[in-house]
Amino acid sequence: MFILSQLCDTVAIKPHQLNADQQTVIKKRLNERLANKVVPDLGLCICVYDITEIGDSYILPGEGDCRARVTVRLLWIRDVATGCCKLSASKMKKKACKNCFLSRRYG
């Protein structure tokens, strides 16, 4: 089953990304860090669903990164009955399928 959960996190934006759209950069950075990762008690993170709040940005002394406190909703997949799911990929061609997975449940 797919679920949405809200998460607060601090995201670092690199100096060369400061001229780009802030929401796009934040979404990309969070997807790089969380997508396709399993988090205990939540399941497998699919992607960032939306950004609900972007706090003030600040730069730490000695660093060039701009850090922003953000609140996002993430899309997760998890088995409701047991709280876990087993996923595996079977023979995928790189050209045929990007950013997807095939799931097979083992009894």
pTM comes to 0.69
Number of H helices, E strands in the chain: 1, 4
Residue 24: band (very low, low, confident or very high) from pLDDT cuts 50, 70, 90: very high
Domains and CATH numbers, the chain: 2-77 (3.30.1490.120)
Residue 78: band (very low, low, confident or very high) from pLDDT cuts 50, 70, 90: confident
Find, among 68, 1, 2, 72, the residue nearest to 31 by Cα.
Answer: 72
Residue 89: band (very low, low, confident or very high) from pLDDT cuts 50, 70, 90: low
- Tokens of residue 23, six digits: 């929401």
